[in-house]
Amino acid sequence: MLKAKGLPGMFWGGVINTAVYLLNRSSSKSIGGKTPYALWNGVPPAVHHLRTFGCVAHVKTTTPNLKKLDDRSRPMIFVGYEPGSKAYRAYDPATRRVHISRDIVFDEAAQWDWDAEAAADLNTDFVVEYTMVYHPSSLSGTRQDAGEPPARSSSSPRMPSDSPTAGRTPSVHGDAPAVEFVSPPTGAAANLDADHDDAPLCFRTMDNVLGPAVLPGLANREVQEELMMVSGEEPATFAQAERDEDWRRAMLDEISSIEENKTWRLVDLPSGHRPIGLKWVYKLKKDAHGVVVKHKARLVAKGYVQRAGIDFDEVFAPVARLDSVRLLLALAAQEGWMVHHMDVKSAFLNGELIEEVYVVQPPGFEIDGQENKVYRLDKALYGLRQAPRAWNTKLD
């Protein structure tokens, strides 16, 4: 499978998983021409979704607010099937990450061009432009002491002017502005050649390019950076959020909603079980004018540490396509039907779990004297792998 599509050896894990996946869906003489999947599940396996391993897969781009001419998909490499789901696994050589998606168009006859990928990496240039910075005080008299004639006083060295074309250095980018001399060369410094090794370099940093000048009425760059750090308003950690009264109130509302819904109960952690961590996610709700109308704190589980077959089994949950919703609204408008819709507060907290899942006590809300205990989830939390399926089952 690796050789057929010219894949490197790092994909051997995906090859093994895919080979086992295919063998379980292939008939065998040792079991009477049936498939292992059919013997285990009692129904024949579906094979219409099988694709050629290692082929080029065009994965739908999930980036929001795409422009009209932006690409709607990214080319990747098909590397297997996602367990417990109808999604596929695709490897992105650009980011070196595996993406899980159902919205994929396969080109099974094509394979990835690794030579073009390597050539693109080799052609990445890194250019640093600099100018020599002269220090007349430290260089004065150096050439006279060496027995060389003093600098000519009949003709003064050319000084950098204020014109846009003065004070420029050659650049591979043509019109890119160069850095001006920090101290104009005078005297013996004017006779220095370009290979002088004692002069320090002045790199093209933002301070050297833009200068320290501040426009009237504007704060300096240091103050601007501090203002940008606090202007986001959405804390990234619990330590940042607990210092604000609005965020503390939002977290209390979330905990109250969870407890009123009887989502969990405090128990001792059974032997052989591992609790799942929790974290806070903070979001500001704003109106059309950008005014903050609500502070929202969501307690989510670290579902990425869950193990298939232990913490969850099935994770698939159907989602209505946007085309279907538009069609329904169009029919309602044409026929004059009454359309009802609803918004369920903390929807996933209503989905009942059939698995035995334990989570740690939420940060900042540990119960005094019972810090070693954990919560057993009777209902789902946001972030759990099976939360969407549990909510869909509740609706059914």
DSSP string, 225-258: HHHHHHHT---SSHHHHTTSHHHHHHHHHHHHHH
Last residue of a domain, which of 106, 122, 138?
122
Residues 178, 252, single domain; the answer is no
Q: What are 217-248's pLDDT values in tens digits? A: 555 555 554 544 444 578 888 888 888 888 99
Residues 268, 328, single domain; the answer is yes
Contacts of 329 (CB under 8 A, 6+ apart): 339
Asked if residue 3 is part of any domain, the answer here is no
**Residue 143 pLDDT grade (very low, low, confident, very high; cuts 50, 70, 90):** very low
Question: Containing domain of residue 374, as a range?
Answer: 238-395
Asked if residue 1 is part of any domain, the answer here is no
Q: Is the pLDDT of residue 283 over 70?
A: yes
What's the chain's average pLDDT? 78
Asked if residue 2 is part of any domain, the answer here is no
**Residue 155 pLDDT grade (very low, low, confident, very high; cuts 50, 70, 90):** very low
Using CA atoms, how far residue 166 sits from 115, 157, 158, 178, 247, in Å, is 44, 14, 10, 9, 55
Evaluate if pTM is beyond 0.75.
no
Residues 178, 142, single domain; the answer is yes
Q: What are 65-109's pLDDT values in tens digits? A: 888 899 999 999 999 999 888 899 999 999 999 999 999 999 999
Asked if residue 98 is part of any domain, the answer here is yes
Last residue of a domain, which of 175, 206, 231?
231
Per the model's pLDDT, the better-predicted residue between 289 and 118 turns out to be: 289
Residues 137, 158, single domain; the answer is yes
Asked if residue 4 is part of any domain, the answer here is no
Residues 77, 223, single domain; the answer is no
- Can you say whether the dihedral through the CA atoms of 204, 208, 214, 219 is positive or negative? positive
> What b/e sequence results for 165-178 when a residue is b if at least 16 CB atoms lie within 10 Å of its CB, and e otherwise?
eebeeeeeeeeeee
- What is the arithmetic mean of pLDDT over 119-133? 56
Residues 142, 199, single domain; the answer is yes
Asked if residue 169 is part of any domain, the answer here is yes
Q: What per-residue confidence (pLDDT) applies to 136?
A: 53
Residues 264, 368, single domain; the answer is yes
Rounded Cα distance between 252 and 350, Å, is 19
Q: What per-residue confidence (pLDDT) applies to 230?
A: 47
Residues 246, 389, single domain; the answer is yes
Q: What per-residue confidence (pLDDT) applies to 224?
A: 52
Residues 132, 256, single domain; the answer is no
Q: Is the pLDDT of residue 172 over 90?
A: no
Last residue of a domain, which of 207, 231, 255?
231
Q: What per-residue confidence (pLDDT) applies to 90?
A: 95
Per the model's pLDDT, the better-predicted residue between 396 and 303 turns out to be: 303
Supply 268's token pair: 């001792």
Residues 244, 300, single domain; the answer is yes
Asked if residue 115 is part of any domain, the answer here is yes
Answer for the pair 215, 166: CB distance below 8 angstroms, yes or no: no
- What is the arithmetic mean of pLDDT over 280-302? 87
Residues 171, 34, single domain; the answer is no
Least confident of 35-39, 344-348, 378-382, 383-387: 344-348
Report which DSSP code applies to 379. Answer: B
Answer for the pair 263, 381: CB distance below 8 angstroms, yes or no: yes
Q: Is the pLDDT of residue 279 over 50?
A: yes
Residues 199, 105, single domain; the answer is no
Rounded Cα distance between 35 and 45, Å, is 8
Number of CB atoms found within 10 A of residue 124's CB: 6
Listing from the earlier edge strand, what are the strands of the sheet with 73-81? 97-101, 88-92, 73-81, 55-60, 104-111
Asked if residue 361 is part of any domain, the answer here is yes
- What is the arithmetic mean of pLDDT over 243-268? 89
Q: How far apart are the first and last CA of the chain?
A: 42
- What is the arithmetic mean of pLDDT over 268-290? 88
Q: Is the pLDDT of residue 387 over 80?
A: yes
Counting the structural domains of the chain, the total is 3
Q: What are 316-365's pLDDT values in tens digits? A: 888 888 999 999 999 999 999 999 888 887 788 888 888 888 999 998 88
**Residue 293 pLDDT grade (very low, low, confident, very high; cuts 50, 70, 90):** confident
